[in-house]
Structure 1
Amino acid sequence: MSVLLAFLSGILLSGAFAPFALWWLAPSALLLLLFAFDGNGFKVRALVVIVFSASFFLPLLHWTSVYVGALPWLLLVLLQVGLLFPLALHPTTDPKFFILFPSAWVCIEILRTHFPFGGFGWGRVGFSQANAPYSSFASIAGVSGLSFLVALVSVSLFLVIKKEFTLGLVTLFVVGILFSTTLLRTHVVSEEVVTVLAVQGGVPKLGLDFNDRAHAVFSMHEKSTRSYLESHSQKPSFIVWPENSVDVDPFKDNFVRDSLNKLADDFQVPIIIGAVLTKGNGYENASIAWLPGSGPSSIYVKKHLTPFGEYVPLRSLAEFVSPFAKGIIDFIPGTDLQTHVIGGAKISPVICYELLDDQLNRAMAARGNTLLIQTNSATFGLTPESAQELEISRIRAIEHQRFAISIATSGISAAIDDQGRVLKATAINKPEAFLVNLPLQSPRSVSDSLGNSAEILIVFLPLFLFLVIPFLYRVLLKRFSVVRKRSNQ
């Protein structure tokens, strides 16, 4: 029965993410997982973790196999199973120990975001909660806080069902307090607004070789932009293109450089492009602001590169696992953060995989007043990857209290408000462009102000409830007994 519950738990948790995106499945799934753990010894708990992790990550990450085959996908899932395995060490002999489960879950999520090779935080429970009524808690305690709240809800229900009413009511009370912080939060939208034209130009062909005809990808974005501007009278404050929209170095390719200059000059509108630059024997993945009259201005070079996508760790092993690894030339990471300043807009670029990096997103949000997520979804075809990435972008907009544009080569692209609501969105694998007004939000969110302190607090809060409160209760009870004896003498 425990193994069956673990399997159902993993399947349900995968359903909390896109394409289904049913947020309420997350607390339901973790509740089943707790019952799968309940009262079992280490060997059964170990089997429960393996079955749960596999049934969760196999469907969630299936998109990684679409063009490279099953083996890399299975190895990635195996790695995630290994990282979740410490959950099997969680004691379950007494329901009281389950108070520590939310902290254990968040600790493992934090580990997954940093290790190995810089981490892979895909599948963090908080990323599935953009539609939840408590999603704004991310602006107070970040993604980890949101994951913690979901796990705490599951623990509360588990304890009540197990008739541990005192602990259950205490944890429900804590849930209520955490939820109430979202109601007390003030929300003010800036009156300073910019108009953004987002261009999803498309690619000639989906797949890993989408940029074999890099000039074609550039031309599709250039033509889509020109066509929109010629057919609409409203002039945008600036234009955004996705990652890899210019996969030919514009500093070395005369045709691309001249075309960008002409496009910006003809309409007198700045363009923020995603470009690949050559540097020595490698490449740089860059976001560049291209201005009318002067050309390239601010340049941000991607800092957090995609392992096995933009560089290959353990190259000999990687080439044995997948022949595609042999064709990867390592990119060179950037060293500095850079915003694009256009008028009153301070645009913080986040490039694709960097969306998973808590610290980088927090630092970028602090430097700007709007978020720009430039990504390339063509390498994953028509899979749910793009929809899952959009859900992550929605949570980031809530967490940092910034309006955001998520722009992809072949979709899904979207404009998102600071409450995580999608204002406009494109279809997948269809060239589109849309115009949207974005307020420029400058105040820092509570989560950004607290930084890592929020994670430390939520990790140790259950430990405080589990160890300190009973200790204080015993001390006070003992002291009360002493006072009572003295008064009776």
Structure 2
Amino acid sequence: MRKLDTKTYKLASIPIISGLLIAIATFSSWWFVQLIAFVALAPLFVVMKLVNPKHYYFFGLLFFAAWLLPTTYWYYNFMPWWLAGLASVGFVTLIANVFHLFSLSVSKKVSYPVALVCVIVAWVAFTWLRIRLPVSEDWWIPHLGYAAWHNSGVLQTAHFGGEVTVEAVVLLANAAIALAYIYGNKYRSAIVSLAIICIVSASNLLILSRSSAPLPNVISLQQMTTGGVDVPATNVDITLLIKNSAEALKQAPSNKPTVVVWPENSIPVELQEQIKQFASSARIFIVYHTVEKVSDKTYKKVVVLDDSGKELLRNYKQHIAPGEIGDSNHSDNSAQINDWLVTTYACYDMHYPDSVRRIGNADIVFVPINDAAFGTLQRNFHAADLAFRAVQTNATIVSSSTNGPTVYIDEWGVKRRDLPYSSNGSIMLF
């Protein structure tokens, strides 16, 4: 194994620091902290111009390890330790190969800016592929969009390509700062950095100031099943959901229809008559999660009852999470509630890019969620996915979870309301 010289040792701290800064941005729920993502990679791109080409892959390993290993800690919540380590470390060793493309500039036939653009294109293309290809589409591994999604101005670029366009903007911003340093000086680089931060901040404030689309009355409940994680709802749970819904309904105005959204909690068939009776007596629409057994298949689905207690809409869960018990079934139905075209999908389905097509022209998407087994950061990722889908489809998204995320995200991808994780409560949109 080659020994690193003193210069390389010093430079090696840069990819580690850059990776840790991206990890900090990924963990943050504040847009002004996530501004870090637009400058954190610039020093890394400068260093890649200076380092010996034989260390390109090594520097890639350092960067991706510093970023991805801390942000995949939640793998250990539901995987054996060896499998969690293999999944996260294995991905780091794979994606680090992108840094080999910096070698294009070594021969002098390609300039460094062109090589840097090639790295960015390959990076973004890799993200695009891995969230769509079989097997890799199930990997909930962070991309740069998760480190920047609270920046609502930049999030609008998701309309053109979802996660990958936001990632591309982050990479290009950092590349601009790096090139200003390499071909200019530190002052020019500082000016470019400041300009990018100001533009991103101004666009955030502009989007945050915009009005959200009107909604029917919506009540979204967050309630853990009494039996614990991944245990189907019981009569006790249904009674409590009905009680809490009825309490919230006292505050709902009567000039619009009211939709009550319940979590992904696998309500048994034998308990659904209670729900229908409640919807009918309270004259409300109810969104709930249940299972349907057909022969040897078990399909998970979300049902919407109308205000007479009759089924208005159902959609099946197409994507079954690793380790989850159930069978895939595709549907893309929607229905009208007064002036609003609504649809509903379960939990994990909203992580996948094909959810954009399934949402179609719907004005509102109701999403029951159960993320109880995974951890806080994964819930943040789930909320981020909802924000991407909102911008891509121009739809309002309201989720209801067992313990988070329970959120109201408007058509601009702005998280307007949410509940603290692991607490019972409700979001009331009147």
The TM-score range, normalised by the shorter chain, is 0.7 to 0.9
Instruction: Find the counterpart in structure 2 of residue 456 from structure 1.
Output: none
- Structure 1 counterpart of 2:327, from 316, 326, 332: 332
The answer on 1:27 being equivalent to 2:41 is no
Mapped to 2, the partners of 1:20 and 1:271 lie a distance apart of 30
Residues 303, 315 of structure 2: 8 Å contact kept: yes
CA shift digits 1:61-97 (9 cap, x unpaired): 2122225443332122034214413313212434221
Residues 241, 272 of structure 1: 8 Å contact kept: yes
The answer on 1:221 being equivalent to 2:238 is no
Mapped to 2, the partners of 1:71 and 1:218 lie a distance apart of 39
Distance 1:333 1:91, change over 3 A: same
Mapped to 1, the partners of 2:150 and 2:272 lie a distance apart of 42
Taking only the aligned residue pairs, the percentage that are identical comes to: 16
What is the identity, as a one-letter code, of the residue corresponding to 1:77? S
What is the identity, as a one-letter code, of the residue corresponding to 2:352? D
Residues 379, 404 of structure 2: 8 Å contact kept: yes
CA shift digits 1:98-150 (9 cap, x unpaired): 13232122111112212341513541212332332433222344321111111
The answer on 1:109 being equivalent to 2:103 is no
Instruction: Find the counterpart in structure 1 of residue 221 from structure 2.
Output: 199
Residues 370, 403 of structure 2: 8 Å contact kept: yes
Residues 323-402 of structure 1: matches in 2 within 5 Å? 329=325, 331-358=326-353, 360-381=354-375, 383-402=376-395
Instruction: Find the counterpart in structure 2 of residue 95 from structure 1.
Output: 112
Instruction: Find the counterpart in structure 2 of residue 432 from structure 1.
Output: 425
Mapped to 2, the partners of 1:65 and 1:218 lie a distance apart of 32
The 3-state SS of whatever aligns with 1:271 is: strand
Q: CA RMSD in A?
A: 3.3
Distance 1:76 1:224, change over 3 A: farther
TM-score normalised over the length of structure 1: 0.73
Name structure 2 gaps, 5 residues minimum: 1-9
Mapped to 2, the partners of 1:36 and 1:148 lie a distance apart of 20
What is the identity, as a one-letter code, of the residue corresponding to 1:38? K
CA shift digits 1:360-389 (9 cap, x unpaired): 2321342311222321122225x3322332
Residues 263, 370 of structure 2: 8 Å contact kept: yes
Distance 1:345 1:71, change over 3 A: farther
Distance 1:220 1:29, change over 3 A: farther
TM-score normalised over the length of structure 2: 0.82
Mapped to 1, the partners of 2:122 and 2:406 lie a distance apart of 35
Mapped to 2, the partners of 1:65 and 1:340 lie a distance apart of 40
Name structure 1 gaps, 5 residues minimum: 311-328, 438-489
- Structure 1 counterpart of 2:312, from 292, 297, 316: 297
Residues 391, 413 of structure 2: 8 Å contact kept: yes
Mapped to 2, the partners of 1:20 and 1:192 lie a distance apart of 26
Mapped to 2, the partners of 1:294 and 1:220 lie a distance apart of 19
Instruction: Find the counterpart in structure 1 of residue 13 from structure 2.
Output: 4
Q: By how many angstroms is 1:152 displaced?
A: 0.4
Q: By how many angstroms is 1:264 displaced?
A: 0.6
Q: By how many angstroms is 1:344 displaced?
A: 2.4
Q: By how many angstroms is 1:258 displaced?
A: 1.7
CA shift digits 1:414-460 (9 cap, x unpaired): 112222322221111111122215xxxxxxxxxxxxxxxxxxxxxxx
- Structure 2 counterpart of 1:134, from 148, 154, 166: 154
Instruction: Find the counterpart in structure 2 of residue 125 from structure 1.
Output: 144
Mapped to 2, the partners of 1:62 and 1:282 lie a distance apart of 33
Mapped to 1, the partners of 2:227 and 2:86 lie a distance apart of 27
Higher RCO, Cα 8 Å, sep 6+: 1
In our comparison, the structure showing a higher alpha carbon Rg is 1
Q: By how many angstroms is 1:212 displaced?
A: 5.7
Residues 264, 401 of structure 2: 8 Å contact kept: yes
Mapped to 2, the partners of 1:344 and 1:297 lie a distance apart of 15
Distance 1:143 1:156, change over 3 A: same
The 3-state SS of whatever aligns with 2:311 is: strand
What is the identity, as a one-letter code, of the residue corresponding to 1:343? N
